[in-house]
Amino acid sequence: MLEKSSRIPAQNHIIDFDVVRTDWLGGLTHGILTFRRNPEASDREKKEAAKILANLAWNGENKAAIAAAGGIPPLVALVASGSDSAKEYAALNDQNEAAIVAAGGIPPLIALVTSGSDSAKENAVYALANLAWNDENKAAIAAAGGIPPLVALITSGSDSAKKYAAGALANLTGNSQNEAAIAAAGGIPPLVALITRGSDSAKEHAARALRNLAVNDQNGAAIAAAGGIPPLVALITSGSDSAKEHAARALGNLAVNDQNRAAIVAAGGIPPLVALITSGSDSAKERAAGAAIAAAGGIPPLVTLITSGSDSAKVYAAAALGNLARTDQNRAAIAAAGGIPPLIALVTSGSDSAKENAALALGSLATNDQNRAAIMAAGGVQAIQEMAKDGKMLVHRQVAQEALKHFPRESDSAEGGDPATKPSTIVSAEKLRGEIRTLESGNEELKAKAAEKLGTWAAVSDENRVAISREGGAEALVALLVTGSDDAKWHAARALRNLANNFEAKDVILKAGGIATLEPLVRHGKGKVKEAADEALKILSQKQETKSIQATGHGKIAEAGDKIPTGEGARVAMFSARFDGGPIEQMLSWGYDILMVTADAGQSFGDLTTKYLGRLRKENGTMIAVCTKHYGEMTASAYSSHKDRELKFALDYEEFVKVLPLKVDDTYPPEPPGGPGHAYDKEYLARGYILSVFKPSVVFLECREKSEIEIAAQIANVLQRHKVGKDGSS
């Protein structure tokens, strides 16, 4: 039912609902007797009696007692014949729907919507909205002429009245006659206007009403004609979770019409629908997926986004295809639309989020035998295996491992699998030389394609990276950065980025002048060429020898191949959750007391967090914070609430607990989202905690582009300087 808050102003409460009362029965008896035994009572007495009953009706036991004592018929009578103020309070008693209807309560409530005071209208429409959940009541309200005054109230009522009227109309839909009556009464334009200018709750109810009305083709055309599509698209981005779901369903219903579908695309509806598939509630994801398919004209536009969209669009499109790939029909459609090759390419060369989404999509597609064979033949398994081996974050590797479960193991193929479907990880020298020759002497289009092939092969295995560099591929790619077309430069930069993950190949690129050639593209290039060049330059600019700890001046960390110093005497440390487990495994093996609450801890997540934080306080430990860009964001997840607890803990006990930030993103200190449009942090509280904990004096460790053992060694050096003394002191 509708939200019941703020029906009676606080100063009008004459009964204390929160205290166990001994006099509530007396108040109840007095109120009902005023109506039943003294029909000639003054308006003032009736008003006070109605107020008593309205207050008492907030208690569940009292509601039943009012009905049992015969209180509903006189309340209905008061709605019809009492003074304005008495009607206002009598209309609040909307409980016990069946008894209200039986006592003839619907017509006087409708009359109150038309001619009552503002407060009485609000209370009456609120009661009608709740009554309208019942199918019989839907018909009764319409038969009593209730729809036109409800439509009028959306235009002329108070904000609360508009909200409740939209809710009442939404509840009245689901009945084809009522839907026709709402449209005939001119209800569609004011509902569309309410989505643009109403309160959050009003927008939600209006979207729900339009969602149901849009099932009818004529109503759908009327919604589009009233300008309803752009505000519905906007609501998907800025509305509440429920509003987003209703808006997505409304657009899905509207998209069965070709003209409406074109209007949704023109209004920019596809990107927010695709985004909702990724980040919305489960129900919203389902609705958004259907709407996106209908609005986009099918799956091919989503496949196109993976190939040519922006980086963020690729992330969302891959997620959308992964969600759609849960049905056989969609799996076949994605393959038919050419979706498999670009998903594989995204696994090898996309952003971290894009790689994860693409790998999951390929795993879902592989539940179809033909798709599985196509993915294997195109090198998809090798790409996912490389991701499982080299992923920077634990979750990165876990996603790849999950996707690989849908493919046969190498041993399975050896024991009888079809070798034709199992491509080799290592490309032949003959193929490599052919593509490198094309880089040097082919036309512009062929050069771009050759660079793309070399980049894909370089992403698949370390053997290919070495072979390409030894055959002269690195030098040819560097030259292409100067002489090639923009498309060729883009593919060349991506290929160099992949090659640079091998020390030998990286050294060849450096000697060929890779950094000096990439720098102008980063400074003066545009779009995807600039982005790819920047990624390659970052890897090439990273020194291969390990660096000193950031800003500390305390010596040099262990080389990647050296032993990590033993953890004897070092204090306890706690990692925040959702961090790569690799460094933790490295440090545990050297005797460090490292704690981490993993994301799969389930119901024990909160208990473990509390337990570990208690140890840090008791033993003067170190809290290790993995500072992603949005670290500390407040969300609905249990993980978020415990992350907030860690930040508050660090602030409250800064005298006892050291904080060690690990910088894993370019943005530092972290900038968690917040503000008026944020669902859980409208006042930037998370950023306040971040700035309070990560003061300028707090030194961070630079962890970008570092291996697990390098990160572990850096942390070990810090913990070694924070040892436990023989007496337990620091």
Q: Express each pLDDT in 306-319 by its tens digit.
A: 877 777 778 777 87
Which residues, at least 6 apart from 187, have a Cβ–Cβ distance to it below 8 Å?
147, 150, 151, 154, 169, 209
pTM of the predicted model, to two decimals? Answer: 0.41
pLDDT tens, 27-61?
Answer: 433 443 444 444 444 444 444 443 433 443 344 44
Q: With bands split at pLDDT 50, 70 and 90, how would you rate the model's confidence at 100?
A: low
State how far the Cα of 609 lies from the Cα of 280, in Å rounded to an integer. Answer: 27
Do the Cβ atoms of 76 and 104 come closer than 8 Å? yes
Find the DSSP H helices in 325-443: 328-336, 340-349, 352-365, 369-377, 380-390, 394-404, 410-414, 429-441
Q: Which amino acid is at 132?
A: A
C-beta separation of 569 from 722 below 8 A:
no
Alpha carbon distances (Å) from 709 to 292, 354, 404, 589: 44, 26, 26, 11
Evaluate the CA torsion angle 223, 228, 230, 235 in order and state its sign. negative
Looking at residue 682, its amino acid is K
**Which strand (E) or helix (H) includes residue 503?**
helix 503-511
Dihedral sign for Cα atoms in the order 568, 569, 572, 577: negative
Q: With beta carbons less than 8 A apart as the criterion, state whether 76 and 100 touch.
A: yes
Burial environment of residue 304 by CB neighbours within 10 A (0 to 12, 13 to 18, 19 or more): middle
| Three-state secondary-structure class, residue 622 | strand
User: Which has the higher per-residue pLDDT, 424 or 459?
Assistant: 459
- In order of 214, 295, 339, 403, the CA distances from 331 in angstroms are 29, 19, 10, 15
Question: Smallest Cα–Cα separation from 389: which of 423, 353, 355, 418?
Answer: 355
Q: Which of 634, 636, 638, 583 is nearest to 608 (CA)?
A: 638
18 versus 213: the higher-pLDDT residue is 213
Q: What is the pLDDT of residue 211?
A: 92
Q: Does domain 298-412 fall into CATH 3.40.190.10?
A: no
Q: Does domain 1-113 have CATH number 1.25.10.10?
A: yes
**CA–CA gap between residue 19 and residue 8 (Å, rounded):** 18
1-113 against 573-720: fold identical:
no
User: Given pLDDT bands bounded at 50, 70 and 90, which one contains residue 708?
Assistant: low
pLDDT in tens, 152-201: 999 988 898 899 899 989 999 988 899 999 999 999 999 999 999 888 98
User: Residues of the chain with pLDDT > 90: what percent?
Assistant: 12
In terms of DSSP bridges, do strands 622-627 and 594-596 run parallel, antiparallel, or are they unpaired?
Answer: unpaired
Query: What CATH code would you report for 429-541?
Result: 1.25.10.10
573-720: CATH topology: Rossmann fold (3.40.50)
Query: For the chain, first and last CA: distance in Å?
Result: 59
Please report, for residues 234, 513, 524, 533, 697, the alpha-carbon distance to residue 520 in angstroms, rounded to integers and kept in the order given.
39, 12, 6, 9, 35
Spatial separation of the C-alpha atoms in residues 385 and 710, rounded to whole Å: 23
Mean pLDDT, to the nearest integer, of 595-617? Answer: 62
Interatomic CA distance for residues 40 and 66, integer angstroms: 21
337 pLDDT band (50/70/90 cuts)?
Answer: confident
What is the DSSP annotation of 58-89?
Answer: TSHHHHHHHHHTT-HHHHHHHHHHS-HHHHHH
Please tell me the predicted confidence (pLDDT) of residue 285.
Answer: 61
Kindly report which listed range (117-121, 512-516, 543-547) carries the lowest average pLDDT score: 543-547
**pLDDT of 32:** 38
Q: What is the mean pLDDT of the chain?
A: 72
Contact 132, 48 (CB under 8 A): no
Residue 94 has pLDDT above 60, yes or no: no
Q: How far apart are CA 254 and CA 263, in angstroms?
A: 10
Question: In Å, how far are 111, 213, 249, 268 from 208, measured between CA atoms?
Answer: 25, 9, 9, 21
For 513-598, strand residue ranges (E) read 573-575, 594-596
Most confident of the following: 46-55, 400-409, 605-614, 667-676: 667-676
Structure tokens at 684: 């930037």
- The C-alpha R_g of the chain, in whole angstroms, comes to 33
Domain range annotation of the chain? 1-113, 298-412, 429-541, 573-720
3-state class (DSSP) for residue 307: helix
Rounded Cα gap, residues 53 and 462, in angstroms: 79
